[in-house]
Amino acid sequence: MSLKIITAPKYIALNPGKISIFLGGSIESGTARDWQTELIAELSAKPYADKLEILNPRRLEWDASWPVHDPKHPGLSEQINWELYYQDKADILIYNFVAHTVSPITLLELGHYSSRNPIINIEAGYKRHANVKITADHFGWEYCEAQTDFLVEIDQRITKQLDFRAHIKHGADIQA
- Cα-Cα-Cα-Cα dihedral sign, residues 158, 39, 11, 32: positive
Helix axes 147-175, 35-44, angle to 10 degrees: 50
**Burial bucket for residue 41 (CB in 10 Å: 0-12, 13-18, 19+):** exposed
Express each pLDDT in 109-162 by its tens digit: 999 999 999 999 999 999 999 999 999 999 999 999 999 999 999 999 999 999
pTM: 0.93
Distance CA 94, CA 40 (A): 12
Pure H helices in the chain? 35-44, 74-89, 104-113, 129-139, 147-175
Domain boundaries, the chain: 4-175
Express each pLDDT in 71-115 by its tens digit: 999 999 999 999 999 999 999 999 999 999 999 999 999 999 999
What is the dotted CATH code of the domain comprising 4-175? 3.40.50.450
Query: What letter represents residue 156's amino acid?
Result: Q
Query: What letter represents residue 24's amino acid?
Result: G
Within 13 Å and on the Cβ side, how many CA atoms surround 131? Answer: 13
Confidence grade of residue 167 (pLDDT, cut at 50, 70, 90): confident
C-alpha dist (Å) from residue 72 to 4, 69, 86, 114, 159? 31, 9, 20, 28, 41
Distance CA 117, CA 112 (A): 11
Looking at the predicted structure, is the pLDDT value of residue 176 above 80? no
